[in-house]
Structure 1
Amino acid sequence: MEQKKFRDMSQDERLQYLKIKTNLSEKEIDLFRNTGGLNFNTINGMVENAIGVFPLPIGIATNFVINNKEYLIPMAIEEPSVIAAASNAAKIAGRGGGFVADVDDSIMIGQIQLIPDSNNSINKSEIDDIIKVLQDNKNKITSLANTKSKFAECIDIKIRHIEDKSINSLGIMIIVEILVDVKDAMGANVVNTMCEGIAPEIELLTGGETILKILSNYATERLVRCKAIFPRDLIGGEDVLRRILFAYAMAYTDVYRAVTHNKGIMNGIDSVAIATGQDFRAIEAGCHAYACRDGHYKSLTKWYQNSNGDLVGEIEIPMAVGTVGGITNTHPIVKSCLKLLNVSSSKELATIMAASGLAQNFSAIRALADEGIQKGHMKLHSKNIAIMAGATDNMIELVSKKMVEEKNVSVSRAKEILETLNKKGV
């Protein structure tokens, strides 16, 4: 009898197959059976060849006030200190009036790549003629795109040309870009559908061949901006503020520092994105591209001192998120996180994520400019170390506390402390 293909197996059959084919023990295999709040059919519908889930801790960042509304923000992340740091930053920002944010309409960009219907690239003399044909038929193309969706709206078309700078030197290509208002969706599926739907018409009008027909994750028409004031007296005084400004100067000027600086920002943004079912890889790619929009990779945030002597932080980033569609409709934990946030639109969610990134960045550069990053980080990381050493239940806190007091956070020391506590019968 022919063996089933992996894709046709049940969860149990797949796990048994892995047990036979790998050196995983029954105990290790059994870890994949626990799918938490998801049933296996849902998981199997999300990804191919599913065997289980990879759980991440979800915590709540507190103290956030954004545009005069209070939020409890779910964050899914494995790294200690992020949630505590964001909560503390939000508390300080609250004393300065909270976060103020605004966001563009939900405009996404779709791209259709056009070349001649041959192996040759477009001749420069043909470019103007092709662009004119497309410009003359913008309304026709737009109307056709809008037949492909019941909720999204193609509002404009832009046409430009680029020259291949790769090793292949394929010459000039024309890029037709559609601008689509995707409302409260992230928009990938509807924009891709529109791009594919209008490509045959573009070929018919120009006599060319369309190659790529795809959404761009560089959502420069969908920016979110957020600002907060951090009172000088609450961040450690004038000297700490001065040192924070030097930290920002380095992140703005030096790419090696900028990458780590922006990683800290994304700690806040990605953890909210994961908890609310967003495509955090797309958000990451767009933000990092935006960081080097002027030809130099730099800080995504801006820090300066206002006339009152307080610290001001600002962030502006592309933010393609959705509160409808995708797994926001199917993942029960995602649905619960969105309900917990009490957001009414994708634009509101974007402001929350921008505020989370700004808060996290403040905490990171404040720690770096003052006591160093490790003191607070290792205090929280000590619980992980205690667990790694075998501590459970109340022992985790006891072992962690002892290591922090001794300023010796290591697995070997945690094991020694745990052994001592066990001998004492604690």
Structure 2
Amino acid sequence: MAVGRRRTEWRHTMAENSRIAGFRNMTVDERRAAIADATELEAESFAQMDATAFAPEAAADLSENVIGVFSLPLGTATNFTINGTDVLVPMATEEASVIAAASNAARMARPQGGFSTSSTRPVMQAQIQLINVADPHAARTRILERQAEIIDLANAQDPKLVEVGGGVTGLEVRLVEARSETYLLVHLLVDVRDAMGANAVNTMAEAVSGTVAGIAEGEALLRILTNKADRRLARARAVFDRELLGGEEVIDNILRAFELAAADPYRAATHNKGIMNGVSAVVLATGNDTRAVEAGAHSHAVVDGRYTCLSRFEKNAAGDLVGTLEMPMPVGLVGGATKVHPAARAALQIAEVSTAQELAEIIVATGLAQNLAALRVLATEGVQRGHMSLHAKNLAASAGATADESAIIVARLIEEKTFRFDRVQALLTELRSGGAR
């Protein structure tokens, strides 16, 4: 893919149609069969999603002091068309409304072609902090004079990465005025290809730190990547159909909600959390680092010293709503849980991505869909109606209600506007005695 340009074609093996009718009403086995039909996924792949597929012994290789395995529901968002190709999006989350909302927003984007995405090269940065430098301005110049030597030394640490087209692409030197002294910060810009890249850039930073410290005539202290991954951006754009959204008034209210998020950091924090509901669910499902992605996202939301919203919404000439989202997306397909965790491997098979950039673009498209869905709810019925109906369903399940009993109980709770566990227990007792209908 050309750097910074929209992808013109995706893998032809991706889902033939992500618009699976009645998907939410199917059983788990029926959903698996539908996904298998759409993606040609093997039956063995679904077995990898079961809780028992990831044994504590295997988990011990990923973490410390392991005593068990903690599971989250793994679902699939439907209706996504990205760059002209239908995609099924794996999402790991305990909140049912997240997947439903993303799927619904993706449906509203389909009439206008779905989501268009693009991304930059997968460049991560390592920082080397130099201390006790007597002449920081001159030291900066000395380091830049010898940058070719430093880059060669860094690339020698990972010849395989260089062989596949990655490696250090540049070097920058910054002066940071701190309380006690002026620190010299050397940034290695590393194309990490299909990895998240933390191990690669950290190794390079440590390997060259002695050389750059010697050139600066100072000492190297910190040698680690920065999670402000602003050289590794992914972008998504979509036009959401005016009629499917609910008309002009709904669009105008969505724009007012966006304007508040753009102007007020208190609202922006919740606005961006809505984006991350979708983003983190896909990042987690594919075995990537949710903490790194969230750190990069929220740091990217600070513009000129003020925290603001990551997405933008406008009305186009036809009166439809246009949404755009650009954010750092440091995710990979190799290393860590993406290769070790069986459910993460299965999730990547569902998404059918072949590069880390494709995965990044799918994730950002999902974040934009999630954001639009949340704004639409806030601009119309309010967030509590949907949340409380889902809460009622969870309460019924906690009380041991069957699917048929749950449907009756949820309807009663919504009618009564009472969402308490003791009321659920009373309704369940009444129902089983033949009273509640």
Q: Give the structure-1-normalised TM-score.
A: 0.87
Q: Give the equivalent residue in structure 2 for 1:133.
A: 142
Contact 1:161 1:172 in 2 (8 A): yes
1:199 aligns with 2:215: no
Counterpart code for 1:369: A
In structure 2, C-alpha distance between the alignment counterparts of 1:141 and 1:396, rounded to whole Å: 65
In structure 2, C-alpha distance between the alignment counterparts of 1:57 and 1:404, rounded to whole Å: 25
- List gaps (5 residues or longer) in structure 2: 1-49
Structure 2 counterparts to residues 66-215 of structure 1, below 5 A: 66-116=82-132, 122-123=133-134, 126-149=135-158, 150-151=160-161, 152-164=166-178, 169-215=179-225
Percent identity, aligned pairs only, is: 45
Q: Kindly tell me: are residues 407 and 425 of structure 1, through their superposed partners in 2, closer, same or farther at Cα, counting changes over 3 Å?
A: closer
Counterpart code for 1:419: T
Q: Give the equivalent residue in structure 2 for 1:302.
A: 312
In structure 2, C-alpha distance between the alignment counterparts of 1:207 and 1:238, rounded to whole Å: 64
Q: Give the structure-2-normalised TM-score.
A: 0.85
The alignment partner of 1:299 has SS state of coil
Structure 2 counterparts to residues 321-336 of structure 1, below 5 A: 321-336=331-346
In structure 1, C-alpha distance between the alignment counterparts of 2:424 and 2:125, rounded to whole Å: 52
Give the C-alpha shift of residue 397 in structure 1.
3.2
Q: Give the equivalent residue in structure 2 for 1:65.
A: 81
The alignment partner of 2:130 has SS state of strand
In structure 1, C-alpha distance between the alignment counterparts of 2:381 and 2:215, rounded to whole Å: 64
Which one of the candidate residues 309, 314, 320 is aligned to 2:330?
Answer: 320
1:348 aligns with 2:358: yes
Q: CA RMSD in A?
A: 1.5
Counterpart code for 1:136: E
Q: Give the equivalent residue in structure 2 for 1:373.
A: 383
CA deviation profile, 1:393-423 (whole Å, cap 9, x unmatched): 5433332233234433332221121111111
Contact 2:77 2:99 in 1 (8 A): yes
Contact 2:293 2:329 in 1 (8 A): yes
In structure 1, C-alpha distance between the alignment counterparts of 2:255 and 2:207, rounded to whole Å: 50
Q: Give the equivalent residue in structure 2 for 1:21.
A: none
Give the C-alpha shift of residue 248 in structure 1.
0.5
In structure 1, C-alpha distance between the alignment counterparts of 2:155 and 2:333, rounded to whole Å: 21
Contact 1:251 1:299 in 2 (8 A): yes
CA deviation profile, 1:196-250 (whole Å, cap 9, x unmatched): 1111111232321100000011111011111100111111111111111111111
Q: Give the equivalent residue in structure 1 for 2:289.
A: 279
CA deviation profile, 1:96-127 (whole Å, cap 9, x unmatched): 210001000100011000012xxxxx34xx12
In structure 2, C-alpha distance between the alignment counterparts of 1:130 and 1:299, rounded to whole Å: 38
In structure 2, C-alpha distance between the alignment counterparts of 1:280 and 1:244, rounded to whole Å: 28
Contact 1:80 1:381 in 2 (8 A): no
The alignment partner of 2:59 has SS state of helix
Structure 2 counterparts to residues 213-292 of structure 1, below 5 A: 213-292=223-302
In structure 2, C-alpha distance between the alignment counterparts of 1:413 and 1:81, rounded to whole Å: 23
Q: Size of the alignment, in residue pairs? A: 382
Contact 1:35 1:52 in 2 (8 A): no
In structure 2, C-alpha distance between the alignment counterparts of 1:299 and 1:274, rounded to whole Å: 22
In structure 2, C-alpha distance between the alignment counterparts of 1:256 and 1:348, rounded to whole Å: 32
Contact 1:59 1:83 in 2 (8 A): yes
Higher Cα radius of gyration: 1
Contact 2:122 2:191 in 1 (8 A): yes
Contact 2:242 2:248 in 1 (8 A): yes
1:398 aligns with 2:375: no
Counterpart code for 2:94: E
Which one of the candidate residues 411, 419, 423 is aligned to 1:413?
Answer: 423
In structure 1, C-alpha distance between the alignment counterparts of 2:238 and 2:398, rounded to whole Å: 38
In structure 2, C-alpha distance between the alignment counterparts of 1:305 and 1:276, rounded to whole Å: 34
Counterpart code for 2:139: I
Give the C-alpha shift of residue 381 in structure 1.
2.3
Give the C-alpha shift of residue 35 in structure 1.
5.8
Give the C-alpha shift of residue 76 in structure 1.
0.7
CA deviation profile, 1:237-290 (whole Å, cap 9, x unmatched): 111111111111111111111111111110000000100011111111111111
